[in-house]
Each structure stands twice: as C-alpha cells, then as structure tokens.
Amino acid sequence: MKNLRRKTLAAASVVALGAGFASVAGSPATASATGPESTFLVLAPQGGKADRAVARIAAADGTVVANYHQIGVLVARSANPTFVTDVAGAGVESVASTAGLGTALNEGDTIELTAAEIAAATGDPTAEPLYGQQWDMPMIDLPRAHAVTTGSPDVVVGVLDSGISSSHPDLATQIARDKSASCLGGVVDTAEAAWNPTTSDHGTHVAGTIAAALNGIGVTGVAPGVKVAAVKVVDNEGYIYPEAAVCGFMWAAERGMQLTNNSYYIDPWQLNCRNDARQRPVWQAVQRAIRYSQNKGVLTVASAGNSNFDLAHKFVDSGSPNNGTPEVRDINGACVVLPAEAPGVVTVSAVGPTGEKSYYSSYGQGVIDVTAPGGDSRIRTRGATSTTADAILSTTFNTVTRTNGWGWKQGTSMSGPHAAGVAALALSAHPGMQPGQLASFLARTAVAQPCPAGVYDPVPLIPTGADYTATCKGGARNGFYGAGMVNAYHAVQ
C-alpha cells in the first residue's frame, strides 16, 4: 500500500452554498498582521446561534467561510498569527488550526485490467463480463440477494472520498448528481467538475463496489439498484482535512442520504486524542457532525484501517504523524480513530479470498462491528508473492490518461463499501429503518466467524520482514470479525 505525496493545505476557493446548509458569512477582513493564511475550526456552543463566534472571528482578522450553525462549528481563514488566542472568549468554546491535520489518503496501488483482458472476458453480453473475477460477491451471498432485490433508487449512499468519475460506463447512471458536491476547504461546490476525481481514483473504485450498474458492462456492485453521491473530501494532494469531513457529514445529512461510506481516517495521528488541546476541537467537531447526520437518518460506515493495529488495546503509537517525522507517544482510552471509533459508526475489518483476516486489517474486540471482503493478495502464498486477482476488482479512473477502466485494489477501504452496499440492500428491502436499527440489523444478519487459534501469522514470508502477527479475542462476536461476515441475502429477507 502507498500514500499519496504529502503537502500542506492549499487555499480553496469559496463558493455560494445552497439555502439551509452552511453559509458564507461576510467579506474578507483586512488582516492587521501578515503571514500565510491558515484554516481554523471554531466551535461555538451547541443549540444556539453562532453570532458571537462570527463576531469574534471578524474581530480577530478572520473570515468565516462556512458556518455549520446546526452544530456550532465554523470554518474560518486568517493570516493573523495570533488568531487562536485572539478569537478566544465568550461565544467560542474552542479553536484549532487545521494546518498539518490533513491525513494522506491510505490509497492502494491500482492494477488496471488491460484492454485485451477486458475483451477476453466479454463472452456473454447479457451478463457482467468481469463478474467471474469478483470472488468477493459470492462470499457475501450476493447472487441469492439479487434474486430478491438489487436495491432501490430511493436509497442514496454518500461516498465521502476522492470523487467519482461521472463518465464511467459502469457508474454514469448510478450517480445522484443533484446530491453530489465537493467539500474541499469545508465549503460546498456542486459543479460536476468539482466532485469528479482529479489525482485519485480511490472514490471511483469504492463507488463501483457499492453500486456499479447491471448493464452488461464490466462489474456489478453490491447494490446496483441504489444511487451513490460523490462527496469529495480528499484534496488534490491526497489529504483529508477535518473541515472537509465535517462538511461531508453535514452535506449528506441535509441532502437526505441514508448512508455514507468513509474509507479514510482524519488527522495525521492515527489516533485522535480528546485530551490533547490541539486535537480536541477536531474530535468535537467531527463528533458533532456525525451525531447530527445520525439524527437526520444517516448511518455512517467506516473502514477499520490498514495498520494491523489492535484498536481495543492502545498503549503506544509509533507511526504518527504521517505527514512528518513519526513520534513515539503513550496513548489511552481518550484516543480514537476517527471516524471509525465514533459512537454509532459501523466499523468494518477486511478479509481476503480465504475468508481469513487480511494481513493488514486493523482489528479490536468491541471495536469491529462486521467484516467484509477487502482483498489480500498475499494470503495464499503466506506473504512470499502477490496474487493480483486476490484483491478487489472494481471501477477505476486513470488520472494520468483521464480514461475509465476496471482494476484491482485492496484494503479496508474496499471492505467498507461492501458493508455499505449490503446496508443499502437492507434498506431497500426494509425501508424506514433508522441508523441504530440498521446497524443492529447488519450485525444480526452477518455470518459469525470464529477466531483463529493461537497467534495469527498470515504472511510470515513477506519480503519486507514486517511483523503482521495478531491475536483474536472473543467468541461468536470477536475482535477480528465483529459479528461476522456481512450477508446480502440475509439482509434482504
């Protein structure tokens, strides 16, 4: 797996927003101090107007670029080097600069199918020609589910990611264009070009797993009858900044989506600590946005992460920050992975073609809710070599040639959309379920998978020599698989 190149946040343009959502307030203030412009999250008390916070931002030589008054979160920009201290006071609970807080998307290499490979698979024009290579779909009992329903177009899944190619032949009919937007910089841009991919096809791959069309072309999605909305939160440098994630959750809530898929984590620290003065406002803002979306009927599905990390036993983090020199720090229960460990979120681990935990997948008893196929190209060789076809096949977009295609990726980024797709089928068959009911139903209809005995060591021969051992704890519901493998057929019964 590789990360995109890492850079600091670039200034984004401010655009007009739809009525009833976030509003752009005021005109740029004349800064009394010089310096680079930075972005800040400013938290006002919940349940009231944010007028005093808006006034304090202006007085501190800042500009409000997004006002999520519903949750008391404002996104501001300022070149004032003392903005954080200047804005403090009545009407402001906390404030933090988001500079350096954008985490690089954990994006796996895409291995594209060649034109010859695609042509060789087109023997039956009435079926999806590449379906035979989608080992992941029978694993979740999809053929039987599709005999019941392929999903309802009334169900919309928000794909909070790097954008979706609106010209892809397997996705063009699947996108809810009126609900798609870019959230870069924490503000909304609904132009189609804004929510299309620019430097990453990660979101296009995720969207295909959820809802690629049944059209005799390419692959099938888990729920090809539902719609997906592109909610772009990954910028052109590959970063997810907290203000973009907050915007994404709020946009999904206000546009009537029932589900969001989140194949990322927020902050360069793998764990966001509520007891850290700088990280706490990020934690608060994201929690408020997720809670608001849940109250609006949106279930959040999130990937567990690709660090083979025991999320239930956090003692030391030695791999963060991911945008600088890693530090070793002791951590405790106040430190969580966002959004995966936020309350009410369905957290998904990954398995490979054998049904065993993917060597890279994070885990944790009481943290993992369900598991789903994410791919594991090394599981069959115990790590010695990589087998491309053991990853997940889905829709791709070559950002260099600007062409659509199909290809392979692996990661919990790929397992999350399988779970989101099954949840979308469940909602289609059982309309009206609220987020808590749907999360419980997804777990209840999963197929339990037992822990492997002893220490799990799936890839001892991996050339890097890295240690991917792990220990599974629990019984029918355990740290590797949660309640078990999501099951599409059970979910539509």
Show which residues are catalytic: 161, 202, 413
C-alpha 235, offset from chain centre: 14
CA distance 451 to 140: 19
User: Cα angle at 72 between 69 and 76, to 5 degrees?
Assistant: 85
Strands in 217-331 per DSSP E: 227-232, 239-240, 259-262, 272-273, 299-303, 316-320, 327-330
Residue where the block lists tokens 């005021």: 26
Cis peptide before 129 (omega within 30 of 0): no
CA distance 187 to 180: 13
CA distance 492 to 146: 9
Residue where the block lists tokens 């804004």: 194
Report the DSSP pairing between strands 73-78 and 38-43: antiparallel
3-class DSSP state of 309: coil
Contact 244, 192 (CB under 8 A): no
CA distance 201 to 208: 11
With both helix axes pointing from N to C terminus, report the angle between 435-444 and 412-429 in degrees, rounded to the nearest 10: 110
With CA atoms as reference, report the closest residue to 450 among 419, 418, 482, 411. 482
Residue type, 195: W
- Sequence-ordered list of residues with C-beta below 8 angstroms from that of 422, at least 6 positions apart, any chain: 140, 222, 223, 372, 442, 486, 487, 488, 491
Contact 480, 367 (CB under 8 A): no
With CA atoms as reference, report the closest residue to 246 among 91, 19, 66, 95. 66
Residue type, 213: A
Strands in 244-369 per DSSP E: 259-262, 272-273, 299-303, 316-320, 327-330, 335-336, 346-351
Q: Tokens for 125? A: 């024009």
With CA atoms as reference, report the closest residue to 258 among 225, 231, 297, 226. 297
CA distance 162 to 153: 23
